[in-house]
Structure 1
Amino acid sequence: MGPGAPCRVLVVDDSKMQRRILSAQLARSGYEVMEADSAEEALALCEQVEPDIVLSDWMMDGMSGVDFCRAFRQMKRAGYGYFILLTSKTEKNDVAEGLDSGADDFLAKPVNGAELRARLSAGERILRMEKELKDKNRLLHSAQEAIERDLSEARKLQQSLVKERHRSFGAAEVSLLLRPSGHVGGDLVGFFPINARRVGLYGIDVSGHGITSALMTARLAGYLSGSSPEQNIALFLTEYGIYDGRDPAELAAYLNQLVLDEMQTENYFTLIYADVDLISGEVAMVQAGHPHPVLQRADGNVEYLGDGGMPVGLLPGAEYETFRTVLAPGDRLFMVSDGVTEAAPTDGEMLGELGLARLMRRSARLRGASFLDAIYWDVESHAGGALTDDISAVFFEFHGAKTAVD
C-alpha cells in the first residue's frame, strides 16, 4: 500500500455469490479488490501480488481459512498483511484457534456493511502504523550506520593521538598500551622528552565514556604535546634558553586550575605523571586519583608507590604531592588505568593490586610490547572476555644509566 494508492483487499470464499457481495461493497468504498475461490488459489495469487488485507471464509472445501492463514503468515512479504476471518463460529475455543493461526480480526457471517468498513478501517490504521514504523526504522538504521562510520573515524583519530607506541632511549625504553572498551574512550597515555637526560611519562583517565570523554582527551593531549614543547604545559623555558620540567605536583595543580577555568565541563580526570632521569634513574611522580604506579624490581618483586591524591578538575585549589623513587638497572615502572585493576568477571572479584602483581611476576621475563600484550590478555581472561572499561598503560624499562653514545 503505497502513498495515495488504494488498499488492496483479497476476498477468499468458495461461494461465488458471497465473493460478489463482498467485492461490490469493497469496490464502492474505494478498495482495489482481488478474488479467489479457494485457499490454494489465494496462496498462488499472493505469490504474484501482495494483498494488504485478506478477507477469508473459515469453512471452505480443501484448505480451511485457518490453515490458509497459517500458510499466509509463513510467506515472505515486503510488509505486513492484515488477515480477517469470516465465520459463524463464536465459541471461545474457535476464536482462540483463529488467533493462534495468525488472524488479526473476525467478522461474523452474514457480513454487515458498516461493521465491514469499521474492521477494514482498523486494519488500514494498523498497516499505516506498521509502514511508518518501518520507515522510521529505516531512517534510524541509516543514521546508525552514519554514526558507526563517524565513530570508526573518531577511533582512528583518537588512536593517532598516541603517535609513538614505543621508543628506545638506549639504556631505557618506554612502551604504551591504549585500548578503549568502545569505539572511543577516555584514556590517554604518552611520553615526551623534557631535556637531553629526562623524559616525562603520563597516563590520564577521563571520567565517563564515549565522545565527551574522547574530546577531552584530545584537548589534554595538546597540553602535553611531545612534538611542540612550546605548547606543553609540563615544560617551561629557562633563562638559559633550554626547557626544564615543572615539578609533578605543580603540574597537577596547574592542570586542575586550567581545566576548571577553561574547559568548564562536568568531566574530571585522574592522572599519573613521572619525570624520569635517564642517567641517575631518579623518578619524581604525582598521583592524582589514578591507580598506584607499580615498581617491579630486577628480581621480580613488586612495590606499589604513591598515596592516592585528588582527581584533576574536580575541586578548586586541590593540592598534590610529589613523591620520588630510584630505578636500578633491570627495574621496570608500570602505570595503568583503573580498567586494569578493576577488571572483573560478572559477579566476580576485581583483579586488584594483588592480582596485577601476580600477572606482572608471571610475565617478568617479557619486554616491551610483548609484556603489555601478555598483561592485556591476562586481564581480559580474568574478566571473562567482557572488559567494560578502557585499558591503558605506560611501561618503562630501565637498563642502566644513559651514556653519550645513547
Structure 2
Amino acid sequence: MIRSEPDMPPPAQDRLRVLIVDDSESQRQLLACVLCRMDLDVTMVADAAQALFLCMTDEGADIGMVLSDWQMPGMDGPDFCRAFRQLARDDYAYFILMTSETDRSKKAIGLEAGADDFVTRPLDLTELRARINTGRRILDMQEALLHRNHEVHTTLRDLTTLHDAMDRDLAEARKLQMAFIPDRNHHFQGSDLSLRLVTSGQIGGDLVGYFPISDTRIGLYSIDVSGHGVASALLTGRLAALFSWNSRRANIAFRSNGRDVYNPEVVMERLNSFMLSEMESDIYFTAVLAYVDTVTGQVVFCQAGHPHPLIRRADSTVEQVGDGGPPVGLLPGLAFDCTTVQLNPGDAFLTYSDGLTECADTWGDMLEEEGLMNLLSAIPDGAEAAVDSIEAALRNHSGINDFEDDISMLLFRYETASASKRGLAAG
C-alpha cells in the first residue's frame, strides 16, 4: 500500500478488502455473496492478468486478501501467486488458492509459489469461512506488529536524537570541566608542578589543581568524587569554585581577611559541613589538601579518605606518607588530621586518585600501590616528564585505550629556593 511517509505503518482499514479471481461468473457471485455476509469488501476479476494489473495500480494497493482459482485460462493460480508476490507492496496480503487438486505434490507447488492456504473444490462454505477467518487473524496480527514496530522505530529514533544531543552536551561539559583545572604545568621559584586528569567517560568525578597562598607558598588539592557521571562532574565544578585560583574570598581555604589560610584539616572540616548542610545528596568525596613552602620544601597536608601521597626522594626511593582519615561528606562532626613532611632538593610529592592503583590489566590484576611506587621510583627528571611517564605506564599496564576509572594525579618536584624561610599561617 502506498504511504505518505516511508516509516509510517499502513492505516487501519474499516473492512478487509478481498480480491476474487475466478473465470467462472457464477463462482465469483457465490463467493462474493459469502464474503459480503462476512463484512468483507469484495472486488472481482475474471482472470489473473486483470488481477495482476489491478494489484499494480493504486486502486489495488489496499487489497489485503486474494482468493484465486487454480485452473484458469492463460496464467493459472500458482503463476499468478508467484507474480503477485514479486510486486513491490508495503504490506502483506493473504493468498488462498481454490483447487480440486488433492495431490500433495500439487499443493507443494502452490506453497512454493507463495500461497498461504488452500480451499478444496467443490467448496465447503463452512471451511471457506474458517480459512478466511484464519487469514483475517493473521493479517490483524501483522497489522498490530507493524504498528508496534513503528512505535519501536519512532522511540529508537527519538532516543537516538536524545542520545546525540546528550553527547553534544557532555562534550561541552567536558570542555568546561577541563577548564576547572589550572594550567597543567607550572613553575614556582625553581620547583615545578604538573597535573593530569584523564576521565574514563566524557566527564568524570576527579579534580586536581593548585592556588597561590603567598609569594612562596602554594595550595595543592586532589579530589575524587564518589560515583561517575553528571552528578559527580557537577560537584567537581562546585569544588573547583571553592578552591578558586582567582578569588581568595571565594576560596574556602582562606580566612575572611583574604590573606591567611585555615590549616588543611580545618578546611576539610569546613568542606564536610558544607557538604552535609548544602548538598542534599549521598555523594561524598575523598581528598588531599597540601600547603607547600617553595622555599623550605615543607609540605603540610590533610588526607581525607584519599590514597596515601607518595614522596619520591632524589635517590629514587619512594615513601608513603599520611594518616588516612575519613572521606568528606559522609558524617557530621568528623575530625581530620594534618601531616607535615619535608622535601629535599630533587624530591617529588605525588597525590593521586585510586584510579591509578586500581588500574587493571587484561587479566584483571590491579597495579596497586606497590606497582605505582615502582613506577614512581623510575620517573625521569621534571614534573611534566614524570607525569607523562606514569600515564604511559598505566596505559601499557591496562592494555586498552580507555581506563575503567578516572585517572588524576598531581606531582610537585621541589628544587632549592633562594627565598627566606617562612611558615604557614596559623590555623
Q: TM-score range by the shorter chain?
A: 0.7 to 0.9
Contact 2:20 2:43 in 1 (8 A): no
Specify every segment of 5 or more residues in structure 1 that has no aligned partner in the other structure, as ranges.
none
TM-score, normalised with respect to structure 2: 0.75
Supply the distance in 1 between the matched residues of 2:267 and 2:119 (Cα, whole angstroms).
Answer: 86
Residue type matched to 2:157 in 1?
R
Q: State the partner residue of 1:367.
A: 382
TM-score, normalised with respect to structure 1: 0.78
Residue type matched to 2:333 in 1?
G
Q: State the partner residue of 1:398.
A: 414
Contact 1:14 1:61 in 2 (8 A): no
Deviation of 1:230 (Å): 1.0
Q: How do residues 84-233 of structure 1 correspond to structure 2 at under 5 angstroms?
A: 86=96, 106-109=116-119, 112-233=131-252
Higher Cα Rg, which structure:
2
Supply the distance in 2 between the matched residues of 1:61 and 1:108 (Cα, whole angstroms).
Answer: 11
Q: State the partner residue of 1:340.
A: 356
Deviation of 1:332 (Å): 0.7
Q: Which of the residues 264, 268, 275 maps onto 2:291?
A: 275
Could you give the per-residue CA deviations for residues 273-307 of structure 1, whole angstroms, max 9, x where no partner exists?
11000100000011111111111111211111112
Deviation of 1:380 (Å): 2.4
Report the more deviating stretch, 138-147 or 270-279: 138-147
Measured at CA, do residues 264 and 13 of structure 1 come closer, stay the same or move farther in structure 2, by a change above 3 Å? same
Measured at CA, do residues 260 and 62 of structure 1 come closer, stay the same or move farther in structure 2, by a change above 3 Å? same
Specify every segment of 5 or more residues in structure 2 that has no aligned partner in the other structure, as ranges.
71-75, 121-127, 421-427
Measured at CA, do residues 251 and 120 of structure 1 come closer, stay the same or move farther in structure 2, by a change above 3 Å? same
What secondary structure is seen at the aligned counterpart in 1 of 2:228? Answer: coil
Q: State the partner residue of 2:302.
A: 286
Supply the distance in 2 between the matched residues of 1:374 and 1:305 (Cα, whole angstroms).
Answer: 22
Supply the distance in 1 between the matched residues of 2:312 and 2:17 (Cα, whole angstroms).
Answer: 79
Q: State the partner residue of 1:296.
A: 312
Contact 1:13 1:60 in 2 (8 A): no
Residue type matched to 1:109 in 2?
V
Residue type matched to 1:365 in 2?
P
Contact 1:328 1:398 in 2 (8 A): yes
Cα RMSD over matched residues? 4.3
Could you give the per-residue CA deviations for residues 239-282 of structure 1, whole angstroms, max 9, x where no partner exists?
xxx61221111111111111111112110000011100010000
Supply the distance in 2 between the matched residues of 1:132 and 1:50 (Cα, whole angstroms).
Answer: 23
Measured at CA, do residues 168 and 84 of structure 1 come closer, stay the same or move farther in structure 2, by a change above 3 Å? farther
Contact 1:334 1:396 in 2 (8 A): yes
Measured at CA, do residues 201 and 126 of structure 1 come closer, stay the same or move farther in structure 2, by a change above 3 Å? same
Report the more deviating stretch, 341-350 or 123-132: 341-350
Measured at CA, do residues 295 and 63 of structure 1 come closer, stay the same or move farther in structure 2, by a change above 3 Å? farther
Residue type matched to 1:285 in 2?
F
Aligned residues: 380
What secondary structure is seen at the aligned counterpart in 1 of 2:255? Answer: strand
Measured at CA, do residues 45 and 307 of structure 1 come closer, stay the same or move farther in structure 2, by a change above 3 Å? farther
Deviation of 1:157 (Å): 1.0
Report the more deviating stretch, 267-276 or 254-263: 254-263
Could you give the per-residue CA deviations for residues 307-334 of structure 1, whole angstroms, max 9, x where no partner exists?
2110000111111110111111111111
Could you give the per-residue CA deviations for residues 121-142 of structure 1, whole angstroms, max 9, x where no partner exists?
2211111111111111111111
Could you give the per-residue CA deviations for residues 12-71 of structure 1, whole angstroms, max 9, x where no partner exists?
999878xx89x9769x8469999x969xx99x979xx99897879999767996x998x9
Could you give the per-residue CA deviations for residues 74-123 of structure 1, whole angstroms, max 9, x where no partner exists?
x9x9x8x54756579999xx99xx8xx9x9x9544355333332222221
Supply the distance in 1 between the matched residues of 2:418 and 2:211 (Cα, whole angstroms).
Answer: 16
Deviation of 1:170 (Å): 2.9
- Percent of paired sites with the same residue: 35
Supply the distance in 2 between the matched residues of 1:357 and 1:253 (Cα, whole angstroms).
Answer: 30
Contact 2:309 2:351 in 1 (8 A): yes
Contact 1:297 1:330 in 2 (8 A): yes
Supply the distance in 2 between the matched residues of 1:296 and 1:345 (Cα, whole angstroms).
Answer: 25
Supply the distance in 1 between the matched residues of 2:398 and 2:20 (Cα, whole angstroms).
Answer: 62
Measured at CA, do residues 287 and 116 of structure 1 come closer, stay the same or move farther in structure 2, by a change above 3 Å? same
Q: How do residues 248-327 of structure 1 correspond to structure 2 at under 5 angstroms?
A: 248-327=264-343
Contact 1:327 1:398 in 2 (8 A): yes
What secondary structure is seen at the aligned counterpart in 1 of 2:277? Answer: helix
Supply the distance in 2 between the matched residues of 1:4 and 1:159 (Cα, whole angstroms).
Answer: 50
